Amino acid sequence: MSDRVRLRIRFAKVGKIRWTSHRDVARMWERAFRRVELPLAYSEGFSPRPKVSFGLALPTGHESVAEFLDVELRGLAGVDLDRLADRLSAALPVGVDATAVSVLEPGTPSLQEDVTSCSWRWTAAPADGEEPVGEAEMRARVAGVMAAPTLEVTRSRKGTQVTEDVRPGILALEVVGDSLDGVVLEAELAAAPRAVRPAEVLSALGPGLEERHVRRTSQWIQRHGAPQEPLLAARDDATEAPHAMERAS
């Protein structure tokens, strides 16, 4: 239908609610959309579902201030875009907040197709019974990782051990400070062709480390040869909701 329209929504997932899964978050959004009476477009067929598509799954337990979803509406009649993010945040659980909404230009590629990398921030804590790694030592290890031509990581996938080189997916990695729990790291990690996880970077930095306080801080897509945030890339008059984050503690 011609008056159908897609919205892209940026949202945060922080606090206790981060222990819910990607599927759980999808159900929260479906309920929130119905609570604010958004005119959702439904799929055809035996079991009609709202047309909502999420970007990269966020691993259970990780926080994010840069999650995105696209939702298709039957139209924009009666929808106040300026207030939508705040109304959605009020209908979502504490810790999940809509922070910006934008109307997508027709033909905008999906998040899955478009996002090329993510920025992460996390703490490298010592695992149970292990000695902490100091900041200077961690800087040296980070330098080693960035200087290495390849970094093989072995993981089990459907019961078989698979060895892969994650080095090309580590686009940036640095130590940004120390904390009570351990050294704080920031990284930009590729989302495609293979998504690299902070845990894999951590295992490349040595044994005995455990990730804590993992937070996705940005997602990036490429436009005209430069990285851009998915929502700003979609349209430049995106509606920011500066107060939405206050509910999340």
DSSP 61: T
Q: Is 60 in the site for other proteins (CB under 8 A)?
A: yes
Assigned token pair, 200: 């894999």
Nearer to other proteins, 44 or 131 (CB): 44
Output 182 or 230, the one with its CB closest to other proteins: 182
Tokens 């011609």 sit at which residue?
2
The distance of closest approach from Cβ of residue 127 to other proteins in the complex, given in angstroms and rounded to an integer, is 11
Site string for other proteins, 208-247 (x = CB under 8 A): ----x-----------------------------------
Cβ–Cβ under 8 Å, residues 135 and 191: no
Q: Which is nearer to other proteins, 6 or 13 (CB)?
A: 13
**How big is the CA angle at 181 (ends 175 and 183), to the nearest 5 degrees?**
10
Which has the closest alpha carbon to 213: 84, 91, 105, 123? 123
In terms of DSSP H, where are the helices of 6-134?
A: 22-35, 81-91, 111-114
Q: Give the nearer residue to other proteins in terms of CB position, either 30 or 229.
A: 30
* CA pair distance 222, 229, nearest whole angstrom: 9
Task: List the interface residues with other proteins, window 18-57 (CB under 8 A).
Answer: 19-21, 23-24, 27-28, 30-35, 42, 46-48
For residues 48 and 231, what is the distance between their CA atoms, to the nearest angstrom?
A: 27
- By beta-carbon proximity to other proteins, the closer residue of 91 and 221 is 91
Question: Nearest approach, Cβ of 97 to other proteins (angstroms)?
Answer: 14
Tell me the longest C-alpha to C-alpha distance in the chain.
62
Question: Which residues between 68 and 127 bind other proteins (CB under 8 A)?
Answer: 91, 93-95
End-to-end CA distance of the chain: 41
The nearest distance, CB 160 to other proteins, in angstroms, is 22
Interface with other proteins (CB under 8 A) = 16-17, 19-21, 23-24, 27-28, 30-35, 42, 46-48, 60-61, 91, 93-95, 212
